[in-house]
Amino acid sequence: MLPLLRDLAVAMLQTGERARLAVARTEGPDGGALDLVVERDREPDLAARAALADFARRSNAARISWRDGAGIVEPVAHITPVAAEFGPAVVELPPGGFMQPTTAGEEILRNAILAGAEGATRIAELYAGAGTFTFVLAKMCRVHAVDGDAALMRALSTGAGRSGLGGRVTTETRDLAARPLLPGELKDIDTVILDPPRAGALRQVEQIVLAPTVRRVVMVSCNPQTFARDVRVLVDGGFDPGPVLPVDQFPYSHHLECVAVLTRGG
């Protein structure tokens, strides 16, 4: 792919200009697919868009998209479907959505979350993304999946319907950093799965400690600092922490994923 990248750089970049290319490989029912997202300060003109589409075809990519300065992702060439298998469901992924970096790490996280949620009767999965863990949890009990990305929530909901889990999975598009779920909205929930971005979920855990029906929190984090801060709030609110599982989910970087299960008695 490197020779093709050089050709793309010549076609898209001026002298001294830089661009970023994110490459994700997804595994769907028809095999693997490359999903590419390009980011550059300038919006691509017609020639740049043609170069991106040509690069997608020559590199056998399923899709190539453009991300602007506001974070909006626009597909430039969509050649074949981009889908991922999450347990019993197949989800057609929107461009630019977050995916777990490695399949091995994803499996470790999935197993840890499933073990931590064992026995749950109703789960709220917060920062659910496209449903990496949602569908295996839904085999256990009903799951309410929440995320701020509307495209991911639509993809998750469609995947749930197509897999026959529509009656066990509900979705909600909501910016949890700005509008966390309140105790009254958690009154039917006994287990919360939290997998926030690096900024953590401080406002949400502050509401969880006020929700008496929530007896268990499975906390997943890619930032040990905000993980420790949020766990401290839960502990001060009456939760007992279990062992912390570190997962090297970001190879060749200093980032570390952590998982812990916190419980409180009746």
Q: What is the mean pLDDT of residues 179-186?
A: 98
Domain extents in the chain: 2-81, 98-263
Tell me the C-alpha distance between 184 and 169, whole Å. 20
User: Would residue 222 show up in a list of annotated catalytic residues for this protein?
Assistant: yes
| pLDDT tens digit sequence for 101-135 | 677 888 999 999 999 999 999 999 999 999 999 99
Crossing angle (nearest 10°) for helices 46-58 and 2-12: 170
Helix (H, G, I), strand (E, B) or coil at 22: strand
Calculate mean pLDDT across residues 74-102: 84
Q: What is the pTM of this model?
A: 0.87
The answer regarding whether domain 98-263 maps to CATH 3.40.50.2300 reads no
Instruction: List helix spans (H) across 46-201.
Output: 46-58, 103-117, 134-138, 150-162
Q: Determine the Cα–Cα distance for residues 118 and 121; give it in Å rounded to an integer.
A: 9
Coil, strand or helix: which one is 33?
Answer: strand
Residue 260: which of 242, 234, 239, 238 has the closest Cα? 242
Active-site annotation holder among 82, 222, 247, 262: 222
Interval 246-266 mean pLDDT: 86
When pLDDT is cut at 50, 70 and 90, the band that residue 97 belongs to is confident
CATH architecture designation of domain 2-81 = 3-Layer(aba) Sandwich (3.40)
- Cα distance between residue 18 and residue 238, in whole Å: 50
Cα(56)–Cα(34) distance, rounded to whole angstroms? 9
The pLDDT tens digits of the residues spanning 202-217 come to 999 999 999 999 999 9
